[in-house]
Amino acid sequence: MTTKHCSFLVPGELETRTGGYTYDRRIVDGLRALQWEVEIRSLGEGYPAPDAAALAQAGRVLDALPDGALAVVDGLAFGVLPELAQRHADRLRWVALVHHPLSLETGLDATQQRALFESERRALAAARGVIVTSPSTARALAAFDVAASRIAVVEPGTEPAPLAEGSDTDALSLLCVATVTPRKGHAVLVEALSGLKDRRWTLHCAGSLVMDAACASALTQAIEAHGLHGRVVLHGEQDEAGLRALYASADAFVLPSFHEGYGMALAEALAYGLPVISTRAGAIPDTVPADAGELVTPGDAVALRGALQRLMDDAAWRAQLASGARRARSRLPTWSQSSARFAAALSGFQRSA
């Protein structure tokens, strides 16, 4: 009988409150519920740009793994550890967990993109299997020379949620749940909303303001420059109770990302039955059905403003999108289903030669 045991290797701290770490935590919990023995090890801080101390810690963690260990490594770290991945490829059974390719992060110059692409391509070549969180990411890995036979798609689960009650006012309550980083497009959202000051609305933003302090500072300055103080509320990082309260009182959800490997916050918005305004970036069209949201070109503030204006002005259309979201919520996978699929993928990779 195959032993159900794996080491789950993460950059930084597993309790970090981002979508990627939430996925990791929920999958670990789900595997343990399925009687897997899961050992958690941190590879150090600072990924995807680890310093010498982090690299040394990663080296020690990997050296300590026993021969034949099934090692699941979050792609935020795995993609920048090609030398270590290749060094241990013959004795460890690597499974890379890729939320989205590192070279698709917003704000990189061409040299940085090429370096990250090549680093991740080399690391993935050492992996026995690759688990991705969306069909979109699976397709993207073809460019990294990863054969489809080595890829398993395991979409995130979503907690069942009550339908949002809404703001119950004539001022539309918009919600954006995302860590404040360039990839999430907050600056584009503020620019779009600056042309809609004559409408009644408030934007609530939930997400860390410290993971990219420069981005958060620039966002605060943009809010002030556009005269949106008090209309754009930055709540910072929220716990589960805080997020539930924000979703429950929202009338619509907006996320103008430049790329998403899945978009867990979008799925959560659908679970609450919220109409969605987002972009056609990455896996978002896979996550948000056409009848539940309006998707625009990433980075296009004019198109985003047009979608938001219609959302504000056309109550019938807004209700139509909300109906689509309510239909979509019944099709969202649960975390137990996602964990079972993850376990099946691990078992398949464990048996493979």
Please state the domain extents for the chain. Answer: 5-157+333-351, 172-329
pLDDT of res. 284: 96
pLDDT of res. 81: 97
Residues written for the chain? 353
Cα–Cα distances in angstroms (integers) from residue 317 to residues 24, 225, 248, in the given order = 36, 31, 20
pLDDT of res. 168: 86
The residue behind tokens 């303001």 is 209
Do the Cβ atoms of 146 and 128 come closer than 8 Å? no
Lay out the sheet containing 70-74: strands in order across.
37-42, 5-10, 70-74, 93-98, 129-132, 151-153
pLDDT of res. 1: 42
Long-range Cβ contact pairs of 81-89 (< 8 A, separation 24 or more): 81/43, 81/55, 81/123, 82/119, 82/120, 82/122, 82/123, 82/126, 84/58, 84/59, 85/122, 85/123, 85/126, 85/127, 86/122, 86/123, 86/125, 86/126, 87/62, 88/62, 88/126, 89/126
Do the Cβ atoms of 108 and 99 come closer than 8 Å? no
d(CA 114, CA 120): 10
SS3 179: coil
225, two tokens: 């420059």
Name the pTM for this structure.
0.88
Specify the CATH number for 5-157+333-351; select among 3.40.50.150, 3.65.10.10, 3.40.50.2000, 2.60.40.10: 3.40.50.2000
71: closest CA among 80, 79, 62? Answer: 62
pLDDT of res. 227: 97
SS3 234: strand
Domain 172-329 has CATH 3.40.50.2000: yes
d(CA 341, CA 338): 5
pLDDT of res. 343: 97
Count other C-beta atoms under 10 Å from residue 7's C-beta. Answer: 21
d(CA 84, CA 80): 9
- pLDDT, averaged in runs of 10, over the chain (353 residues): 83 91 96 97 96 97 96 97 97 96 92 97 97 95 95 95 93 96 97 97 97 96 97 96 97 97 94 98 94 98 98 97 96 96 95 66
153: closest CA among 79, 77, 99, 74? Answer: 99
SS3 151: strand
